[in-house]
């Protein structure tokens, strides 16, 4: 499994965090999410997030995309998976993130009520590559 970002620090206890994330095509562009971080910065990300117990990864994907963007999606296929080790200030934990990436297309806008601190944006591939912070997300956008 590909590793992006920091290497594992053997002195840190990591919490395993499995998540599902979407590369969402909207015409010839990408539907992404902007999230306000705990430091009040705006970070562009692939829509998606953490898996809940007794939930499939696909259900996680549909739920997270709807919460963060308000859009419905159609999943086309799984693109891959990567891992990263990082501090998650919003949860105050060190995490070993396992990120499952799916290729999707938009269907319809289902709601305007989004998870607090989130909004959706539509960007070209070039703009997405400039704005995305996570190198794993960039890798999958670049290769889509």
- Which distant-in-sequence residues (6+ apart) come within 8 Å of 74 by Cβ? 104, 105, 106, 107
Structural domain boundaries, residue 126:
2-142
Residue 23's pLDDT is what?
A: 98
Residue 6's pLDDT is what?
A: 87
Q: Could you give the CA distance from residue 66 to residue 137 in angstroms, rounded to a whole number?
A: 19
Tens of pLDDT along the chain (144 residues) come to 999 988 899 999 999 999 999 999 999 999 999 998 877 889 999 999 999 999 999 999 999 999 999 999 999 999 999 999 999 888 899 999 999 999 999 999 999 999 999 999 999 999 999 999 999 999 999 998
- Beta strand ranges found along the chain (DSSP E): 2-3, 15-26, 29-36, 42-45, 48-50, 71-88, 93-109, 118-123
Q: How many domains does the chain have?
A: 1
* Strand-strand pairing, 29-36 and 2-3: unpaired
Residue 31's pLDDT is what?
A: 98
Residue 25's pLDDT is what?
A: 97
Residue 38's pLDDT is what?
A: 74
Residue 89's pLDDT is what?
A: 87
Residue 40's pLDDT is what?
A: 83
Output the domain CATH number for residue 6.
Answer: 3.90.79.10
């Amino acid at each position: 499994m590909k590793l992006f970002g920091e290497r594992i620090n053997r002195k840190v206890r990591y919490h395993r965090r499995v998540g599902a994330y979407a590369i969402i095509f909207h015409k010839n562009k990408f539907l992404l999410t902007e999230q306000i971080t705990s430091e009040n910065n705006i970070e562009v990300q692939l829509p998606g997030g953490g898996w809940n117990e007794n939930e499939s990864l696909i259900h996680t994907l549909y739920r997270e995309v709807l919460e963060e963007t308000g859009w419905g999606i159609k999943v086309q296929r799984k693109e891959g998976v990567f891992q990263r080790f990082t501090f998650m200030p919003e949860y105050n934990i060190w995490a070993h993130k396992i990120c499952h990436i799916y290729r999707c297309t938009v269907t319809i806008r289902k709601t305007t009520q989004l998870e607090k601190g989130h909004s959706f944006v539509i960007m070209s591939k070039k703009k997405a590559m400039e704005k995305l912070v996570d190198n794993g997300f960039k890798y999958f956008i670049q290769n889509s």
